[in-house]
Amino acid sequence: MSLFQKYSLIFLTLAILFPPVAKLSHMYAHDDHPVCSDHNDAHIHKNQLSCELCKFHFAPFSSFTPFTYELTNDFFVEKKFFNNYIFLSEYQKLSFALRGPPQGNSIV
């Protein structure tokens, strides 16, 4: 193995391992939690997220999806309308024709 291959292998390994190691070390650098000792008064704590690296999220390389285009030759699509509703008679009862007092056998 030549000297160039050794150095390129070391450089490639460090380049691949740098983002997770940097994020892990940065996560442990912000691991100080101040303890609130004021329990008597109602107060609001401020958000202490002022670090730009904490707002940035690393994306994996596997999230890339290539674009695929599908060409079709369907320029004209014929629409067919079917009327399968057949009446037994020409008279159609409307909704107001069905209204009225109920007709039941009332037993007194």
pLDDT digits (tens, 9 = 90+) for 59-69: 666 666 777 77
Count Cβ atoms below 10 Å from residue 23 Cβ, excluding itself.
14
Q: Give pLDDT, residue 14.
A: 94
DSSP state of 19: H
Name the pTM for this structure.
Answer: 0.35
Report, as ranges of residue numbers, the positions in the chain whose pLDDT lies below 70: 31-34, 47-50, 53-64, 74-77, 82-108
Rounded to a whole number of angstroms, the distance between the first and last alpha carbons of the chain is 110
